[in-house]
Structure formats: C-alpha cells, structure tokens
Amino acid sequence: MKTRATAAIYKISAAAAKLALHPRTLRNYEKAGLIKPIRRGAWRYYSELDLVWLRCLFAMIHKGGITIVAIGKLLRYAPCWEVADCPEGKRRHCPVFSERRQGRP
C-alpha cells in the first residue's frame, strides 16, 4: 500500500512550483538519472518523497557546488546522506534516508 509520501501525485508543473524550480530543472535531473518520476503516458508524476530528494539534490548542486554529473557518479558509490554530508539529526527526520535504509529505491 502506498502512503502519501510515496504516492506519485504531483505533475511536473506542480512539483516544480512547490519546489520553486523550473520544470526544465526537474527534466535535467531526470535526464541525468538522479530522479525517476512515475510516468503515466506523457505525464510525469512526483511523490512527496521525490520532492524531499529533489530539495536535497538542489542543495548539493547549487549550494554545495557539486555538478549534476559528479552527483550521479558519487551516488553510485555512496548513499545520498554521505554525499550531502547530512548530520545525524537531519537523517532521522529524512524520509529518503528512512526509505533507502529499508532497502527501497
């Protein structure tokens, strides 16, 4: 059963607006393999969990100065919380950390 966090409910325009990003940014992250939204026909749908992950990606890229390509390579070898250097307190409240620790993609 899908929870609200994992249910893909936001179209790309709504997800981008919620994140204060341009939809092209989300498409670029998808093209780089950093996010994989649910596809229903030609539409992309994002979950709350996807939005948390996208916020983290944006911070790593734009505040941390890591390129999209470099993040893709780093994530092959280390989990996101190590790449982003998330403190333990932040990890405990992070749904991405919880999901991935339980073996979910």
- Multiple choice CATH, 10-101, 3.40.50.2300, 1.10.1660.10, 3.40.50.300, 1.10.287.70: 1.10.1660.10
The answer to whether 24 touches 61, Cβ cutoff 8 Å, is no
pTM for the model = 0.75
On whether the CB atoms of residues 30 and 53 are closer than 8 A, the answer is no
C-beta of residue 34 within 8 angstroms of C-beta of residue 68: yes
Q: Output b/e per residue, 14-36; b: 16+ Cβ within 10 A.
A: ebbeebebebebbeebeeeebbe
pLDDT digit string, tens, across residues 5-38? 567 789 999 999 999 999 999 999 999 999 999 9
- pLDDT tens column, 54-81: 988 898 888 878 899 988 888 787 777 7
